[in-house]
Amino acid sequence: MSSLGPTFTLAMPDLHFAPLPHRGLIAVRGDDRGAFLQGLVSNDVRKVEAGLAAWAAFLTPQGKFLHEFFMFGLGNAIWLECERERRADLIAQLSKFKLRAKVQFDAVDELAVGAAWGRNVTAAFGLRDESGMVTALGAGVVFVDPRLKGAGVRWSLLAANAPDVLGELGLQAALPSDYDRWRVSLGLPDGSRDMEVEKAILLENGFDELGGLDWDKGCYLGQELTARTHYRGLIRKRLLPVGFDADPPEPGADVMQDGKPVGVVRSVGPGCALVLLRLDALAPGAGDLLIGSTTVTPQVPGWVKLPEQTSASG
């Protein structure tokens, strides 16, 4: 991670797990499930059919963000790990395109969703450190977070058994806020907390570098604008971590520079936050960034590919 000031980057912690109660599951069943999703989502569903997990988005026809989710196979279904409070909307949006396709969508609550992270966490689950690798665990499933090496493991396990199962693997229980701090420090977005519905575009939020879209899969809903933005280099903002030594700001607060708004706070963790920031605010000689009266330090994770500053101004 390159730093534009004092860094809040975390050392690799010991093994931890945390439930993520704001995340939920949808099982997509039916003979046409793969082909149906392939024409709608940003990533290649054939990866899932080949036994891997993948991260993807569902967009408006104009290429704006609606939903993000992890996809993985379990039994006779493709499962989507998505935002729980917006799960019904995702089902409704997908159902608009069902027509005669042999596909059905079921919200599933028997399994709890969570994350695990820390030193050698993949080995603790018997997983190779391979992007998107999936394995069964009890009546559920675990997979290597496909977005970023070192991001950790996602798990979907029977709610009543999950703490015991994970504890037996040597993981320590933690809070969702602990995972948020880890996630935010890596610059990883989390649904509509970080991406404004019907306004955000994928390339501002790391979907290219984090493997959340596939340039070779062919057409999907919203693909045209995403491709045009990519090939014309039209990115003017990026979702980036900032660190601070003060009380956390409220999501939606403005990030100011020289008296002008240059960004907005999205999700917040202890001592850090993700902000959607104009790239010209990072130019050499640019003023301090403020949220309220607090100076914040922007960080550029090593995986982020920034355009030349000259193309970012404007």
**47-74 tens-digit pLDDT:** 999 999 999 999 999 999 999 999 999 9
Instruction: Give me the residues paired with residue 153 across strands.
Output: 116, 144
Instruction: Give me the residues paired with residue 313 across strands.
Output: none
Contact present, 255 and 296 (Cβ < 8 Å): yes
Tokens of 43: 């990533």
Q: Which fold has domain 16-186?
A: Gyrase A; domain 2 (3.30.1360)
Contact present, 290 and 251 (Cβ < 8 Å): no
Contact present, 196 and 263 (Cβ < 8 Å): no
The pTM assigned to this predicted structure is 0.92
pLDDT score, position 245: 85
Please give the distance of CA 158 from its chain centroid, rounded to a whole number: 23
Q: What is the rounded average pLDDT for all residues in the chain? A: 92
CA pair distance 43, 183, nearest whole angstrom:
21
Contact present, 304 and 206 (Cβ < 8 Å): yes
**127-180 tens-digit pLDDT:** 999 999 999 999 999 999 999 998 999 999 999 999 999 999 999 999 999 999
pLDDT score, position 231: 84
Segment 85-106 mean pLDDT: 98
Scanning the structure block, which residue is given the tokens 């809903």? 221
Domain boundaries of the chain, sorted by first residue = 16-186, 236-314
3-state class percentages of the chain: helix first, strand second, coil last, to nearest 5 = 20, 35, 45
Instruction: Output the CATH code of domain 236-314.
Output: 2.40.30.110
pLDDT score, position 25: 99
CA angle (225 as vertex; 88, 216 as ends), nearest 5: 90
pLDDT score, position 12: 57
CA pair distance 43, 207, nearest whole angstrom:
10
